[in-house]
Structures are given as structure tokens and as C-alpha cells.
Amino acid sequence: MLREALRDKNFVEKLIRLTIPIALQSLLVASVAAADAFMLGRLDQNSMAAVSLASQVQFVMTMFLAAVTGTGSILGAQYFGKQDFESLDDIYHMSLRLAAVIDILFFIACFFFPQYLMAFFTNDSTLAGIGIDYLRMASFSYLLVGFSIVIEIMIRVTDHAAAGAWISFSAVISNVILNAVFIFGLFGAPQMGARGAALATTISRVIELALCITLTFMPGFIGPNPKHILRYNALLAHDYIRISIPILGASLLWGIGFTSYTAIMGHMGKDAAAANSIAAVVRDLVCCVCNGIGSAAAIMIGNELGAGELDRARTYGYRLTRLSWLIGFLSMGVVLLLTPLVVHFMKLTPQAHSYLLGMMIIMSIYMIGRCVNTIAINGVLDGGGDTKFDMYSLFVMMWCFAIPVALLGAFVFHWSVLLVYFCTCLDEVGKLPWVMARIRKEKWVRNLTRNFNDQR
């Protein structure tokens, strides 16, 4: 099947054209967290661990935004495939309105109530104090992030993925440079540590949004239109809600579940929190390829379904599912190759070094399940609007299995740090048989578009 896929030039060219910029964009975004972790790790272990914990708030925020952008991407890809640009414009502005609400709510929570947020992640007063300062400073960036993500999704859906990657590249480069300036106090700037990382993030978000808005004025791009911001299409809104609710449910289950994993490790001591922070950064960096292919898969399948090419979409779905296994095993190998470099480079206590080594080995196996599920669920299933499965599988495997076992292991049976970390990796591997069965049911082979052009 893979050989046949490689002989299909249209499939290969479109996959590469979408995957490379999206994967690069994902890598660049993950690089921001990596830069924070590595720079703060060279400065102070507590600052690194505290910022990693505090950043989970933005992680939860992105879960809410994922419902908005995921729905916009699914419907947008199908209507773009159908060449119905007026409906695409309605989807665009619905997404912007919802993103604005999320941005404002998280700004309020992080600016006015950061102490309550940090209390969830750690009971260590030192880590909590650093995290509170970080969140209050970073809260201003949360006012902007939703708008940027929605615009970048629409840039990607309308076949301009490379332009979105350049925006991310510019924002990340500015973030990394500003990180170094404000964290270490270079070029006469004050040495701000964790607060410097937050300030750098805020400035880079301003740059990113400015670039996004500028790009939408270019020929061939669509952008926000103030005249359409309140325009309401009842039928399209119904479709939007029907698709977004399962995505929101899945995003929250996954996001809060991952945040719970971080909180569990955070309550097992500073060394465990620090090691888990580094392992999480490596995981996010290595996952960039499968994230890129997953996003590309959703767009490719959505375009074909929206254009009425159901058989071609079905063929693409099976090809991409098989490709996901290859990416999973390759990612496992990459993690194992990176392990000695990462463990040697980071400035940690001997105990934290030991934890990090074990976590990296465990994570290498986890990467197989993570890559397959990302491409199959977020790409193939979601591309056809089969968004409920992700929510169901997360509820069963993460919330009814992995999280309870990890909680019992950490706080009742007092298992070792590495055994508890192993428990937090069980959900992705456990879902694999279920995911493959769902792909074969083909509930994702559906055209979700309506014939609005007949009514206009």
C-alpha cells in the first residue's frame, strides 16, 4: 500500500507540500518551550520546573482553542475543496468570535488569579511563587494567541501552509532572541529569569499577530472583514457546533488529562518535576512530524470529501494510516538517539538525571502510539467529521484507566517516580487496536458541506 502511495505523484506532492511547512510550524512552536526550558535550565532548575508547570495553563487554553481551530479546519477544508468561499468566510468569522472569548477569559484568570492556578500544579512554595510571576506577565500574550491561531489555520486550509510556517519562524526567532536577552540580562537588559521568558513570549505574540494580519492583505489570501464579524449563518452554525462539541470534549479530556499527569509528577518532588519538564519538551519536539502529517491528512481528506471524491478520500485515509506506523517507529528511534545528548546537556541534580534517563526510554515506546493516534484520529477521522471517537477513546483509556492508575500509584501505593511516569504513557498505546477498528468502519468518509450557493 505504501509503495502504491509513493507512485501516486498527486498524493505525494500534496502531502509533502502540506506536511513540511505544518511540521516546521509545529517544530517552531515547540522550540519556544524548548528554548524556555533549556535557557532556564542553565540558569536555575527551580525556574525551569516552575515555568514548565505554569505553562500548563496555556496548554489548557490551547485545548479550548483546538475546538475552534479544529472545527474551522475540518469545515474550512471541505468548503475550500468545494470552492464555496462565502461559507468559508462565515466559518472564519465564527472562529474569530469564539477565539476572542477564550482569549479574554484566560487573560482574566492568569492576571487576577494566578495563585489558584499554581496551587493545582504544585505544593512547593518556591515553584508556586516563580510560576505566579510568570503567569501574570504572560497573561497579556493570551489576549492575542487565539486570533493568531485562527488566522494561521485559515492560511493553511486555503493552501498557503508555507506562508504560515514563515510567520511562525519569524515569531519563534524573535522569541528565542528575546528569551536570551531578558532571561540572562543581555545587552544591558535586566536579568528577569522566568518573568523574562514571559515578556519575550508576549512581545513575540505581538509580532506574530501583526504578521498574520499583514499577510491577509496579500493577493490570494482571505482575512477578517469587520463587516462580517457579526454575520450569522444558522445552518452553518449548527454544523459548527455539532462538530466542535466532540472536539472540545476530546481536547479538554486530553488537555486536562495531560495537565493532570504533569500535576502528579509535580507533586512527586522537584527532581521528578524537572525531569518530566525536559521529557515533555523532547516529546513535543519529536511529535512535530506526526503533528504535521496529521494536520495535512485532515486537509487532504477534507478537500477530497468536500469536492465529492469519496473514493479518493478513502484511499488517502488508508494510505495515511499505514504511514503513521512507519512514523511511529522512526520517532521511537529518534527519542533513543536523543536520550544521551539530552541527559548530558541538562544541568540537573543526579536524581533528576536518573529520572530523565528512565523517562526518555519509556517515552520512546509511547511515541509509537502517539504518532499512530495523531495521524489516524486527528487526521483521517477528524478530516471526515468523525470527531466523537476521539472523545470516547480518551474518556475510557485516559480517564478511566491511565489517570486512576497513576494517581493510585503516586499517592496510595507510593510507587517509584518512573513507574508512575510509565502509567501516564499507557493510554496512547492502549488505544491502538480500537483506533484501527474505527478506521475500518469508514464513518469518516462523509461530505459535510451544504449547497448554500443554491440559496444565494
For the chain, give the mean pLDDT: 88
pLDDT of residue 24: 77
Task: Please check whether residue 453 lies inside any domain of the structure.
Answer: no
**Segment 284-315, tens digit of pLDDT:** 889 989 998 999 999 999 999 998 899 999 99
Tell me how long the chain is.
Answer: 456
Integer Cα distance of 73 and 149 in angstroms:
11
Region class of 220: left (phi > 0), else alpha (psi between -120 and 50), else beta: left
Q: Reduced to 3 DSSP states, what percent helix, strand and coil does the chain have, rounded to the nearest 5?
A: 85, 0, 15
**Segment 139-164, tens digit of pLDDT:** 999 999 889 989 988 888 888 888 87
* Cell numbers that stand for 181 in this block: 536577552
Task: Please check whether residue 373 lies inside any domain of the structure.
Answer: yes
Average pLDDT over residues 202-216: 90
Percent of the chain at pLDDT > 70 equals 96
Beta strands in 154-285 (DSSP E): none
The number of CA neighbours under 13 Å toward the Cβ of 165 is 17
pLDDT of residue 301: 94
* Cell numbers that stand for 73 in this block: 479546519
| Enclosing domain of residue 348 | 2-448
**Segment 56-107, tens digit of pLDDT:** 788 788 888 888 988 999 999 999 888 888 889 899 999 999 999 999 999 9
Please say if the pLDDT value at position 456 is more than 60. no
Task: Please check whether residue 454 lies inside any domain of the structure.
Answer: no
**Segment 345-380, tens digit of pLDDT:** 877 888 999 999 999 999 999 999 999 999 999 999
Distant-in-sequence, close-in-space partners of 213: CB < 8 Å, separation ≥ 6: 151, 223, 224
pLDDT of residue 1: 56
**Count of H-run helices and E-run strands, the chain:** 20, 0
Burial pattern 313-329, b for ≥16 Cβ within 10 A else e, equals bbbbbebbbebbbebbe
Task: Please check whether residue 80 lies inside any domain of the structure.
Answer: yes
Vertex 157: Cα angle to 146 and 14 (nearest 5): 140
Task: Please check whether residue 183 lies inside any domain of the structure.
Answer: yes
Integer Cα distance of 373 and 367 in angstroms:
10
**Segment 25-60, tens digit of pLDDT:** 777 666 676 677 678 777 777 887 888 788 878 878
User: What is the model's pTM?
Assistant: 0.80
Average pLDDT over residues 263-275: 88
Integer Cα distance of 169 and 29 in angstroms:
9
Task: Please check whether residue 456 lies inside any domain of the structure.
Answer: no
pLDDT of residue 128: 87
DSSP state of 346: S
Task: Please check whether residue 414 lies inside any domain of the structure.
Answer: yes
Q: pLDDT band at residue 381, thresholds of 50, 70 and 90?
A: very high
Please, are residues 175 and 204 in contact by the beta-carbon 8 Å criterion?
yes
**Segment 435-447, tens digit of pLDDT:** 999 999 999 999 8
Average pLDDT over residues 190-218: 88
Region class of 334: left (phi > 0), else alpha (psi between -120 and 50), else beta: alpha
pLDDT of residue 377: 95
pLDDT of residue 3: 66
pLDDT of residue 222: 83
- The total number of structural domains in the chain stands at 1
**Segment 383-412, tens digit of pLDDT:** 988 989 999 999 999 999 999 999 999 999
Cβ atoms < 10 Å from Cβ of 3: 6
Task: Please check whether residue 180 lies inside any domain of the structure.
Answer: yes
